[in-house]
Amino acid sequence: AQLSLRQLEVTPMAAFLAELLQAAEDRPATPGTLAARLRLASPALPEARALDMTRSVLHDLARHGLPFLRPGR
């Protein structure tokens, strides 16, 4: 069965959020590092989409007062 892009995005999201929280505890991470981790969880997810998703999540977190990740690529 072939997965849609939407399914590929939703499937690894829990793992991605766990990575995000781990990064917050361990040390700051860049959007690029987190996007790479997201792609490890879902290799079929296009690299550009993974980075867009990562930046979107980080932007939302920063907007809500959680700017624990350093800026960068």
- pTM equals 0.56
Residue extents of the structural domains in the chain = 5-63
Q: DSSP string covering the chain, please? A: -PPPHHHHHHTTHHHHHHHHHHHHHH----HHHHHHHHHHH-TTS-HHHHHHHHHHHHHHHHHTT---S----
Instruction: Give 33-37's long-range contacts (Cβ < 8 A, gap of 24+).
Output: 34/58, 34/69
Binned at pLDDT 50, 70 and 90, residue 73 comes out as very low
Q: What is the rounded average pLDDT of the residues 10-27?
A: 66
Q: What is the structure's pLDDT at 1?
A: 46
Tens of pLDDT, residues 22-66: 766 666 667 788 788 778 877 888 888 888 888 887 777 777 766
